Amino acid sequence: MAEKKKRRRTDPSDSDQQHLPFKNSLKSDEIILQTLKDLCSSSSSDGAAGTLTLSDLALASTCREVADLSLSSVQSAIETLILRLTHSILSGQGFSFSVPSRSSANQLYVPELDRIVLKDKSSVRPFANVSTVRKSAVTTRILQLIHQLCIKNIHVTKRDLFYTDVKLFQDQTQSDSVLDDVSCMLGCTRSSLNVIASEKGVVVGRLIFSDNGDMIDCTKMGMGGKAIPPNIDRVGDMQSDALFILLVEKDAAYIRLAEDRFYNRFPCIIVTAKGQPDVATRLFLRKMKTELKLPVLALVDSDPYGLKILSVYGCGSKNMSYDSANLTTPDIKWLGIRPSDLDKYNIPEQCRLPMTEQDIKTGKDLLEEDFVKKNPGWVEELNLMVKTKQKAEIQALSSFGFQYLSEVYLPLKLQQQDWL
């Protein structure tokens, strides 16, 4: 009977070894933790050296950057702009807006800063022109609404802003785009306009911070974690004993790691924007990186869009290049899933997907980007992806078991210092 019981106790572990490849390659958690401590120490030392700004560089092109402004400053800037337009109308010259161009041709990647910035080219948006009259009207209406927010000292969402004049705006993408134009025109960050996006990102793990005066402990927020506040100004007093920040592309992987309490085994903060990064999550990630001096490791899908999402966090988006100084978190490490991982970790063929023609084109376009060329490892991985024409989602690891991601894959990656 005792022997039978003994066999029953060992059988499950034998089964685990069969279904969890590479588990035997894992070293003790203490050894992996030491690797993470070394990474954390290195990141803290790099942060202490100071941060370069545009003004420190002698660039051939003049670049435009915005800054956080107080509500009174934003209100004053709007009033000054409207007075200038009024004088123009009264003098018989009509009126037009000088709007900074946010097109790709007016953007510049700065290697020293590892982010995209906006150059100083502008375009004229006259009211007395059939092609721009409607957009000029939308711009004027947005300025009026922002002025009201400044006077009342309240916040609204982008959706609220759209619904104030649906017939004029027609589609939220149009009011959102003009909102970015207004930020550029006034020289302020979008958050300075008191217009926020709906809550999207979430955070869980070894982080305590104050949210509008309330202390939040992210280890006690359950599996769902804490929604990232849309207004970063109300976040403060960040404290953490984490060794790194784990940035996760998708909600499914985030839930798996949160439920497994991965942050207790390897002290970390886990954050996700559930796909395409929103402004609030990008601001929150930068604030954590700046205040806590922690390295950031990213877990994204092995496809061109996973790398694009990673690049938005690290180098900035082209739509909001004017605010890249406040929204980017340079030196994010690409932890996985990478194209080389598909063979390295024996991802089954049935879990790999063929890349579409659009996927391949996106991959090739990324290879032409300066922020990709700067990192030879990224170039090598992208070339492999385009060559094999295969992609895979993080969930492909579930073919070895639902907890393979947290029990084997990530610990092995951390142990091997396998990041780019």
Q: Measuring CA to CA, which residue among 116, 256, 225, 124 is closest to residue 181?
A: 124
Cα R_g (the chain), whole angstroms: 24
Q: Residues 125, 131: contact at Cβ < 8 Å?
A: no
Q: Does residue 254 carry a catalytic annotation? A: no
Classified as helix, coil or strand, 109 is strand
Q: Measuring CA to CA, which residue among 377, 294, 387, 373 is closest to residue 334?
A: 377
At residue 193, the pLDDT reads 94
- Other beta carbons less than 10 A from residue 67's beta carbon: 12
| Residue at token pair 């022109």 | 129
Choosing from 163, 263, 313, 345, which is the catalytic residue? 163
- Cβ neighbourhood burial of 53 (10 Å; 0-12, 13-18, 19+): exposed
User: pLDDT digit string (tens) for 313-363?
Assistant: 999 988 899 999 889 998 899 998 999 999 998 888 888 999 999 999 999
CA angle 92, 96, 99 (to 5 degrees): 160
At residue 43, the pLDDT reads 80
At residue 19, the pLDDT reads 53
Q: Residues 328, 189: contact at Cβ < 8 Å?
A: no
Predicted TM-score of the model (pTM): 0.89
Return all residues near 393 (Cβ < 8 A) that are at least 6 apart: 250, 301, 302, 303, 337, 353
Q: Residues 360, 339: contact at Cβ < 8 Å?
A: no
| Per-residue tokens: 298 | 């990213």
- Structural domains in the chain, sorted by start: 20-50+199-415 (3.40.1360.10), 63-196 (1.10.10.10)
| Per-residue tokens: 360 | 């391949």
- Other beta carbons less than 10 A from residue 418's beta carbon: 16
Q: 63-64 and 268-272: which strand pairing? A: unpaired
Q: How far apart are CA 50 and CA 315, in angstroms?
A: 18
Per the annotation, binding residues are 249, 301
Q: How confident is the model at residue 401 (pLDDT cuts 50, 70, 90)?
A: confident
Q: How confident is the model at residue 71 (pLDDT cuts 50, 70, 90)?
A: very high
Per the annotation, binding residues for Mg(2+) are 249, 301
Residue of higher predicted confidence among 141 and 196:
141
For residue 2, pLDDT over 50 is answered with no
Q: How far apart are CA 125 and CA 136, in angstroms?
A: 6
Q: Residues 240, 208: contact at Cβ < 8 Å?
A: yes
390 φ/ψ angles, rounded to the nearest 5 degrees: -125, 145
At residue 134, the pLDDT reads 94
Strand boundaries in 16-65, DSSP class E: 63-64
